[in-house]
């Protein structure tokens, strides 16, 4: 197994942590990007990961800022080596019905959840193509597939990921670079557990398998798509949602 440099954005969140662990288990050198305003929390998370046997290099990363992303990528490649695996996981919500959604709520979500795809992929894509290997996985969402009340911004951004993924998959296909999406449904993370119990119970009742997903079920899909022998899978989306949406 070749050891690759694997970058995970939003590394110290519920899903990001599971993805970092999966990449470590594949034998890769894992790099996590964390929100610059959360340095203390990120490094505490890094220490916990190390105590559990997972070495993860951490760097501050503002995925909404193209220049900052370029600087992050340059630093990683100078200090650790070329990036061959990129998992675009960072994302936020700013929910409100459209009639009450403020411009800044719309813009914050689009910048973080969609602009970040360009900001992170564009600086690494040409080098991946020139080396003849690359794996990019963009994390979308069930609500990008089906839409969701109060999430016009989030649903639009996550739906936009599909078009972006397919377009650059065509650009990289003949050069050994695959680009795919994974769309989680409702996953058992701290953010989801903050949903009021009655609302959460109603959500679970609407999931055919009758439960929340586990972070490891998302990272398993990511690990599958980033594998050395996954070179014939590109431009696609894997929905991991317990049957909540079937396309």
- Tens of pLDDT, residue by residue over 208-246, are 999 999 999 999 999 999 999 999 999 999 999 999 999
- Tens of pLDDT, residue by residue over 51-99, are 999 999 999 999 999 999 999 999 999 999 999 999 999 999 999 999 9
Averaged pLDDT for residues 187-211: 92
Query: CA 231, CA 247: separation in Å to the nearest integer?
Result: 24
At residue 247, the pLDDT reads 83
pLDDT band for position 190 (cuts 50, 70, 90): confident
At residue 2, the pLDDT reads 78
pLDDT band for position 16 (cuts 50, 70, 90): very high
Q: Which residues are the active-site residues?
A: 154
- Tens of pLDDT, residue by residue over 115-157, are 999 999 999 999 999 999 999 999 999 999 999 999 999 999 9
Averaged pLDDT for residues 16-41: 97
Give the sign of the dihedral formed by CA 98, CA 101, CA 102, CA 106.
negative
How crowded is residue 191: how many other Cβ atoms within 10 Å of its Cβ?
Answer: 11
Beta bridge partners of 58: 32
At residue 1, the pLDDT reads 62
Question: Taking 80 as the threshold, does the pLDDT of residue 102 lie above it?
Answer: yes
All structural domains of the chain: 5-187+216-232 (3.40.50.720)
Question: Taking 90 as the threshold, does the pLDDT of residue 192 lie above it?
Answer: no
Question: Taking 70 as the threshold, does the pLDDT of residue 3 lie above it?
Answer: yes
């Amino acid at each position: 197994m070749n050891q690759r440099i694997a970058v995970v954005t939003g590394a110290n969140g519920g899903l990001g942590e599971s993805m970092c662990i999966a990449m470590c288990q594949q034998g890769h050198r894992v790099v996590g990007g964390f929100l610059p305003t959360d340095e203390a929390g990120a490094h505490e998370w890094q220490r916990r990961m190390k105590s559990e046997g997972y070495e993860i290099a951490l760097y501050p990363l503002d995925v909404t800022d193209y220049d900052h992303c370029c600087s992050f990528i340059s630093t990683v490649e100078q200090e650790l080596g070329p990036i061959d695996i990129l998992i675009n996981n960072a994302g936020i919500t700013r929910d409100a019905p459209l009639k009450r959604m403020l411009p800044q709520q719309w813009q914050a979500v689009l910048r973080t959840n969609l602009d970040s795809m360009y900001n992170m992929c564009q600086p690494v894509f040409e080098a991946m193509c020139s080396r003849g290997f690359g794996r990019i996985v963009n994390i979308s969402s069930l609500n990008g597939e089906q839409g969701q009340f109060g999430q016009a911004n989030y649903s639009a951004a996550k739906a936009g990921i599909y078009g972006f993924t397919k377009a650059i998959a065509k650009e990289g296909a003949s050069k050994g670079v695959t680009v795919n999406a994974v769309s989680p449904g409702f996953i058992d993370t701290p953010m989801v557990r903050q949903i009021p119990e009655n609302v959460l119970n109603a959500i679970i009742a609407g999931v055919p398998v009758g439960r929340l997903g586990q972070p490891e079920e998302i990272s398993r899909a990511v690990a599958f798509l980033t594998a050395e022998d996954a070179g014939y899978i590109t431009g696609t989306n894997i929905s991991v949602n317990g049957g909540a949406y079937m396309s």
